[in-house]
Amino acid sequence: MSYFYITTPIYYVNDNPHIGHAYTTIACDILARFNKLQGKKVYFLSGTDEHGQKVEKAAEINNKKPQDFVDEMSENFRNLIPNLGCEINDFIRTTQNRHIEAAQSLWSKLEKNNQIYLSNYEGWYSIRDEAFYLESELIKKNNIFIAPSGAPVEWVKEESYFFKLSNWQDKLLTYYKDNPDSIKPQSRYNEVVSFIKSGLKDLSISRTTFKWGIPVPNNQKHVMYVWIDALCNYLTSLGYPNIDNDKFKNYWPGLHVVGKDILRFHSVYWPAFLMAADLQPPKKVFAHGWWTNDGQKISKSLGNVINPYDIISEFGLDQFRFFLFREVPFGNDGDFCKNSISQRINADLSNNFGNLIQRICSFINKNCNSLIENNFNLIKEDQDILTSSKNCLDKYRMHMNNQEIDKAIKKIFELLSESNIYIDKQAPWSLKKTDVSRMNVVLSVSIELIKRSTFMLSPIIPESTKKIFNLLNINFKTLSFDNIFEINSFSQKINTAKPIFPRIEVND
Ligand code: MSP
pLDDT at position 56: 95
Instruction: Give burial (CB, 10 Å; 0-12/13-18/19+) of 111.
Output: middle
**Ligand 1 centre distance from Cα of residue 212 (Å):** 20
**Interval 102-125 mean pLDDT:** 97
Averaged pLDDT, 461-470: 97
Q: Average of pLDDT values for 363-391?
A: 95
- Contact (CB, 8 A) for 226 and 69: no
DSSP SS3 for 418: helix
Ligand 1 first shell, C-beta below 6 A:
9-12, 20-21, 23-24, 49, 230-231, 233, 258-259, 261-262, 290-291, 298
Please state, in angstroms and rounded to a whole number, the distance separating the CA atoms of residues 197 and 351.
Answer: 50
Which tens digit of pLDDT belongs to each residue from 62-108?
A: 999 999 999 999 999 999 999 999 999 999 999 999 999 999 999 99
Strands (E), 311-441: 334-336, 371-372
pTM of the model: 0.96
Nearest CA to ligand 1 atom 17: 259
Going from the Cα of 399 to the center of ligand 1, the distance in angstroms, rounded, reads 24
- Is the pLDDT at 505 greater than 80? The verdict is yes
Which has the minimum average pLDDT: 37-46, 159-168, 468-477, 479-488? 479-488
Q: Give the integer Cα–Cα distance in Å for 7 and 44.
A: 6
Q: Give CA–CA dist 300/17, Å, rounded.
A: 12
Q: Is the pLDDT of residue 141 over 90?
A: no
What's the whole-number mean pLDDT along residues 371-393?
A: 95
Given a cut of 90, is residue 490 above it in pLDDT? no
DSSP string, 433-460: HH-HHHHHHHHHHHHHHHHHHHHHHTTT
Nearest CA to ligand 1 atom 21: 20
What does the buried/exposed string (b/e) look like for 92-109 if buried means 16 or more CB atoms within 10 Å of the residue's CB? bbbbbeebbebbbbbbbb
426 vs 303, residue with greater confidence? 426
Mean pLDDT of 1-13: 97
Closest CA to 156 of 191, 186, 131: 131
Give distance in angstroms: CA of 507 to centre of ligand 1: 32
334-336 and 41-49: which strand pairing? unpaired
User: Could you tell me the distance, in angstroms and rounded to a whole number, from the CA of residue 198 to the centre of ligand 1?
Assistant: 25
Q: Are 8 and 24 in contact (CB under 8 A)?
A: yes
Q: Would you say residue 508 has pLDDT above 70?
A: no
**Is residue 489's pLDDT more than 90?**
no
pLDDT 10s digits, 169-205:
999 999 999 999 999 999 999 999 999 999 999 999 9
CA distances from 112 to 106, 107, 228, 232 (A): 10, 9, 16, 17
Alpha carbon distances (Å) from 323 to 7, 120, 341, 436: 22, 49, 6, 39
Give residue 450's pLDDT band: very low, low, confident or very high (50, 70, 90).
Answer: very high
Q: Is the pLDDT of residue 296 over 90?
A: no
Q: For 336-351, what is the mean pLDDT?
A: 95
The amino acid present at 272, given as its one-letter code, is A
CA atoms within 13 A on the CB side of 333: 12
Atom index in ligand 1 nearest the CA of residue 261 equals 19
Q: What is the mean pLDDT of residues 260-268?
A: 97
Helices (H), 165-213: 169-178, 186-197
pLDDT bin (cut points 50, 70, 90) of residue 303 is confident
User: Distance, CA 12 to ligand 1 centroid (Å)?
Assistant: 8
What is the per-residue pLDDT for 149?
87
CA 158 vs CA 118, 123, 205, 278, 349: distances in Å: 11, 9, 12, 29, 57
The arithmetic mean of pLDDT across residues 320-339, rounded, is 95
**Average pLDDT of the chain to the nearest whole number:** 95
Would you state the pLDDT for residue 299? 78
Distance (Å) of CA 41 to CA 28, 37, 81, 246, 272: 15, 10, 20, 13, 28
